[in-house]
Amino acid sequence: MLTSLTKFIQKKLGLKVNVEKSRITRPSKTKFLGFGFYYDSNKKKFQPRPHGKSIQKFQRKLRQLTKRNWGIPLDDRIDKLKQVIFGWVNYFKIANMKKTLGVIDAKLRSRLRVIIWKQWKNNKKRIKSLVQLGIPEEEAKGITYCRKGYRFIGLSKVVQRAMSNKRLRQRGIPFALDHYLKVHTDI
């Protein structure tokens, strides 16, 4: 099948075909320009979505930008995150990826809470900051003197209440899902 198509394209259309890159396959097994495809039974047609490898690459980039040991000001980090998130979402804006971006955003927020927590440096500053953000002093002391790791602290309910999604938005931290809902176009 591929050989006859290759001959047709080369002879009739006068185009070159790269045999190593070209193949005939189902749309659900195809990766094209970072997009994968799935069959939508409601619309009765194939729909685009970011390919798994594209999503993994995006997540790796976000992890790289939210490393705890990278000592740059939070404003600079937010600017870099905006560039990466807005660029990636704008590229894939025709794809269906609401659920995927929700999961990515949750991980990103947790990592950013840990970065802010770590920037507070010492226990006295952490307690003071949590109290300023509306957490009772006993709860603030409890989470501050907790001996669990940063991951636990980033996912704890106390820190999530103190640094809520609303507060993170006010701080200027970009959420991929919010931007996607603004720019998404149906095809």
Give the per-residue pLDDT at 1.
64
- Output the pLDDT for position 157: 92
Please state the φ and ψ torsions of residue 35, each to the nearest 5 degrees: -95, 145
37, containing H or E segment: strand 35-40
Q: What is the pLDDT of residue 94?
A: 87
Position 66 scores a pLDDT of: 92
Q: Is 186 helix (H, G, I), strand (E, B) or coil?
A: coil
The Cβ of residue 119 has, within 10 Å, a number of other Cβ atoms equal to 13
Query: How many C-beta atoms lie closer than 10 Å to residue 105's C-beta?
Result: 20
pLDDT reported for residue 69: 87
Residues of the chain with pLDDT under 50: none
CB-CB contact of 40 with 47 (8 Å) = yes
pLDDT for 173-183, tens place per residue? 999 999 999 98
Residue 13 phi, psi dihedral angles, 5° rounding? -95, -15
Residue 132: what pLDDT?
92
Q: What are the CA-CA distances from residue 27 to residues 44, 51, 141, 163, 165 (Å)?
A: 14, 12, 55, 42, 37
| Amino acid, res. 101 | L
